[in-house]
Structure 1
Amino acid sequence: MTVPKRRQGAVELRGKEHAQPMADQALLEGREKRWSQQDPWRVLRIQSEFVDGFDALQELEPAVSIFGSARTKPGTEMYELGEALGRGLVEKGFAVITGGGPGIMEAGNKGAFEAGGTSVGLGIELPHEQGMNDYITLGINFRYFFARKTMFLKYSRGFITMPGGFGTLDELFEALTLIQTGKVHNFPMVLFGTAYWTPLMDWVRHTVLDGGFVSAPDLDLVTLTDDVDEAIEAMGEPR
């Protein structure tokens, strides 16, 4: 019998303990009357996640994050392209950062690992354990999505976003918002996989732009490509 399990920071929850709410869930849904006692402790826990992340990543060389679906299977074309991207980034002098899980994340880490580079995984507590893949040389598990997102943006010099679901889209649009509003500068964004991303960009161009909700220069914030070398070149030089 498979016993459900997941990690919550340094703690592993199995069996009936698995039913405990996730840290993010408890923070966002908590309406308990004892908030004045509960939330200050949460603030300390959140602080500790930032401290752990900053401490672990402070010496990291220039890095690029690769995003994409956890459901992409090994042996598929997109998985192999993820490997090629991870390998090529290391050969250019970058470390590679992913969410640490399976699919595209594993592919990017695998390419970086096999090329002898630094392969970082920033994991997150989820209802069902997905665990860190086997190709990570530096891994950190987070309870809170916002702490994890800060690490992606603080320690990456650019993003390569491959086909994925809601989590991938969330990272994409959050990064684009920060670039558009000038919160981060000189931060290249590549959408890798024209067949997947072209319909989204067509909607942005013909609905969002035509409706006056963004400006024409905002469309220049992304590079759309199927070419590994072009995606890596778009990241610029390690600095």
Structure 2
Amino acid sequence: MPTNSPPPGGPRDSEIETLAEFDLASATGSLAGYRLQAVDLTDRTAALLDLDPAGAVFLGCPMEPAALAHVRAGGAMVFPPVPYLPFDPYRGTLYTPEALYEGLPAGYETTPDARAYEWFQRTRADGDILASMLRSIHDDAVSDALDELLTGERVVGVMGGHAMARGKDAYAGAALLGRTLARSGLTVATGGGPGAMEAANLGAYTAPFGDEVLGEALRIAAKAPLFTPSIGDWASAAFAVRERWPDGGASVGIPTWFYGHEPPNAFASHIAKYFANAVREDGLLARCTAGVIFLPGAAGTVQEIFDNATPNYYESRGVPTPMVLVNREHWTRDLPTWPLLEALAKDRPMAARIALVDSVDEAPAALARLTATASATG
């Protein structure tokens, strides 16, 4: 009988996502309990033919016909690769900027990111159960990879509007915020798009370098202030920064093809891009274990504030995550979100976990203060 867990000597968990992990597992002689995820096994035919595949699951793993026949006959479950898709629904890792923007010099429309958005637009309303299933499988695989990446990390979210242009003081302030948070040992996570989100990821990217690098990076990026009229020019300016200062600091971007007209920014080192925006929103906020800072934004940012406030409101046994809203005038007059948030928090544990500050410079200290309060009472 096949076991439900990997035998001793294999990878640390039941997922095999690289050839190196496959080679380690194959030394045991059995793949029982393993899930092989988007691993190209066309050069491992001999090893596969020598293995007992019973109890294994192959998710989108290319292999030679003889190996495929062997694993199927031996009791493995096989989900074959899906041809002609511009994305891999079984992917085992998150995206990188280079992967999403591959082929950019030939035009943004040729990139995997643009082609995936075009496929999504074409299939989202046609009722095709295969397309909807593939989207769900893809998003679940992305969530799994995101969980693996962030295990043990102290994640702080930075939310804000996509319309914040490069070259503006507000953009520079958001970048300084991202750098400060990253240098304090936090993992910065954003919605992965342009504007305030990109600025925070850029700040985290420049965190390992000298202070002067951020100013120079801001000047280079500002050559294309917005992603309109040309996504290609906008993205190319970001890659020019990355090429001048390679191997920048890590951060996470969590965008969605639901808003596919807003391209992902190239400063997040790890990109968890989803088809389903609801899954993306919930997953982004739920993973911000060290709190969330909300910069000025419009409808999307307001939605994120209350998406985050809802579990905090009902939190009874744990400690609500800190929430810092930046720009008093924006959140009390332009979009009076703060009064409602404050009213919701009244007489609830979350009342001690929310703060409104005037400027972005005050946000890190406010977050630290709320975190200290949470630690003292938790």
TM-score normalised by the chain length of structure 2? 0.50
Corresponding residue number in structure 1 for 2:151? 58
1:71-110 map, 5 Å:
71-110=163-202
Corresponding residue number in structure 1 for 2:122? 20
Corresponding residue number in structure 1 for 2:262? 130
User: Residue 216 of structure 1 is aligned with which of 330, 339, 346?
Assistant: 346
User: Residue 68 of structure 1 is aligned with which of 151, 156, 160?
Assistant: 160
Could you tell me how far apart the structure 1 residues matched to 2:252 and 2:274 are? Answer: 13
Q: Does the Cα contact within 8 Å between 2:181 and 2:187 map onto a contact in 1?
A: yes
Residues 80-113 of structure 1, C-alpha deviations (whole Å, 9 max, x = no match): 1101110111121111111111100111011111
Provide closer, same or farther for how the CA distance between residues 40 and 63 of structure 1 changes in structure 2, counting only shifts above 3 A: closer
Q: Secondary structure at the match of 2:194?
A: coil
Could you tell me how far apart the structure 2 residues matched to 1:38 and 1:20 are? Answer: 10
Provide closer, same or farther for how the CA distance between residues 6 and 226 of structure 1 changes in structure 2, counting only shifts above 3 A: farther
Could you tell me how far apart the structure 2 residues matched to 1:68 and 1:40 are? Answer: 31
1:1-239 map, 5 Å:
12-14=116-118, 17=119, 19-22=121-124, 26=125, 44-58=137-151, 61-116=153-208, 117-126=249-258, 128-156=260-288, 157-182=290-315, 185-199=319-333, 200-201=336-337, 203-204=339-340, 209=343, 214=344, 216-217=346-347, 220=351, 221-236=353-368
- Is there any run of 5+ residues in structure 1 with no aligned partner, and where? none
Q: Partner letter of residue 217 of structure 1?
A: D
Q: Secondary structure at the match of 1:48?
A: helix
Q: Secondary structure at the match of 1:65?
A: strand
Could you tell me how far apart the structure 2 residues matched to 1:161 and 1:69 are? Answer: 9
Corresponding residue number in structure 1 for 2:11? none
Deviation at 1:120, TM superposition (A): 1.0
Residues 26-53 of structure 1, C-alpha deviations (whole Å, 9 max, x = no match): 5xxx8x5x87x88766654553343233
Could you tell me how far apart the structure 2 residues matched to 1:91 and 1:103 are? Answer: 21
Q: Does the Cα contact within 8 Å between 1:102 and 1:133 map onto a contact in 2?
A: yes
Deviation at 1:196, TM superposition (A): 0.3
Could you tell me how far apart the structure 2 residues matched to 1:232 and 1:98 are? Answer: 16
RMSD over equivalenced CA pairs, Å = 3.4
Deviation at 1:228, TM superposition (A): 3.6
Provide closer, same or farther for how the CA distance between residues 231 and 217 of structure 1 changes in structure 2, counting only shifts above 3 A: farther
Q: Does the Cα contact within 8 Å between 1:65 and 1:96 map onto a contact in 2?
A: yes
Larger Rg: 2
Could you tell me how far apart the structure 2 residues matched to 1:54 and 1:86 are? Answer: 21
Provide closer, same or farther for how the CA distance between residues 3 and 53 of structure 1 changes in structure 2, counting only shifts above 3 A: closer
Deviation at 1:175, TM superposition (A): 0.3
Q: Secondary structure at the match of 1:141?
A: coil
Q: Does the Cα contact within 8 Å between 1:5 and 1:128 map onto a contact in 2?
A: no
Deviation at 1:114, TM superposition (A): 0.7
Moved more, 186-195 or 38-47: 38-47
The structure showing larger relative contact order (alpha-carbon pairs under 8 Å, at least 6 residues apart) is 1
Provide closer, same or farther for how the CA distance between residues 81 and 6 of structure 1 changes in structure 2, counting only shifts above 3 A: same
Q: Secondary structure at the match of 2:272?
A: strand
